[in-house]
Amino acid sequence: MPTPSRTVSRPLNPALERLHLVWDLLVMVLVVANLTLLLFDSLFLLPPVNDAFAAVAPGLHGAYDRHVHANFIEIDLVFVAVFVLDVLLGWAAAIAERRYHRWFFYPFVHWYDVLGCIPLSGFRLLRILRVISLLTRLQRLGLIDMRRWQLYAFFAKYYDILMEELSDRVALRLLGNMQEQIRSSDSLSTRVIDRVVMPRKQQLIRELSQRLEEMTGNAYARNREETMRYVSALVGRTVAESQEIRRLRRLPMGDAVARSMQSSLSELACRLVHEAMEGLRSPEFTALVERLADSGFDTWLQVDEHTDRVTEQVLVDMLELMKEQIAVKQWRRRYD
């Protein structure tokens, strides 16, 4: 089932968007007025502020006490009635515009509006979130650019720092727990081999053989001329150092025969090397490599106590390096 926060992307008509904006501006004015009244009435209950107000403006103090403070609950309920109407109208508009995936998602998405209608001091403060919602809408319409505001930059900076610090703490705690789990586990290497490596044994063998063929073939193709020159030079040195060839050169026409033999041997050796390298791409060589890898795979994966300790230490050290990297406070580099 989709979450309430998922919305169906349906662009609004510009006229409807402006109508929403005008209504939100009106509600924002009422929210500011309501919160201002709430703050002032809270201060009015403090004796020092009450006495100072009475001393500075006794007539206004008396009028406020009789007409506003004495009827504060009724006045606040008038604001609440408007806010409830706003929620109902917004819900109806969301259903008509098919703004959300389900009709009942609106109160979950706009939870702060719903809770702000509750006439209790703790919930009244949630009404300020409507101002943030309005600013976001103005930003989306291009009527304002909050990113240029110093207040926005101030909060964005410390929000970024707070999120980085929180995420770093969570990551360090998680990596530390992983290290403890690795240290306390028995036969980690054996379980990794049994559950991870062995089920993919044939795939790994096939991948290794293919990479070996590609690596050898590409290396030979790039260095073919140098390889042939090296083979020819090697055959020449071998022939020159051969005692039989030296004795052959002393015979009549032996030098020509020796040169002919050297040329033939060089050509034969180069041909053998070329055929051998070309044979690496044959199905027979692939099958041979896979058989060799398969025969040595189990031996390579044999695990003893020493191997298990080495694997455990490697994993722990890798996680420790990650912890050291995460512990670096990147926000200092951005804001210093």
- The confidence score (pLDDT) of residue 304 equals 64
Contact 262, 235 (CB under 8 A): yes
Contact 32, 40 (CB under 8 A): no
Long-range pairs of 244-248 with CB within 8 A, sequence gap ≥ 24: none
Q: Which residues of the chain have pLDDT under 70?
A: 1-14, 141, 186-189, 245, 248-249, 254, 278-282, 295-308
- The confidence score (pLDDT) of residue 78 equals 92
- In this predicted model, what pLDDT tens digit does every residue of 159-205 receive, in sequence order? 888 888 899 889 888 888 888 877 777 666 677 777 777 787 778 77
- In this predicted model, what pLDDT tens digit does every residue of 57-106 receive, in sequence order? 888 988 998 888 889 889 989 998 998 998 898 889 888 878 888 888 88
Round to whole Å and give the CA distance between 273 and 276. Answer: 5
Q: Please, which residues have CB within 8 angstroms of residue 154's CB and are 6 or more apart in sequence?
A: none
- The confidence score (pLDDT) of residue 212 equals 73
Among left, alpha and beta (phi > 0; psi -120 to 50; other), residue 118 is beta
- The confidence score (pLDDT) of residue 11 equals 54
Q: Could you give the residue ranges of the DSSP H alpha helices within 242-282?
A: 243-250, 254-278
Round to whole Å and give the CA distance between 140 and 197. Answer: 51
Burial 3-26 (b: 16+ CB within 10 A, else e): ebeeeeeeeeeeeeeeebeeebee
pTM, to two decimals: 0.48
165 CA to centre of own chain:
16
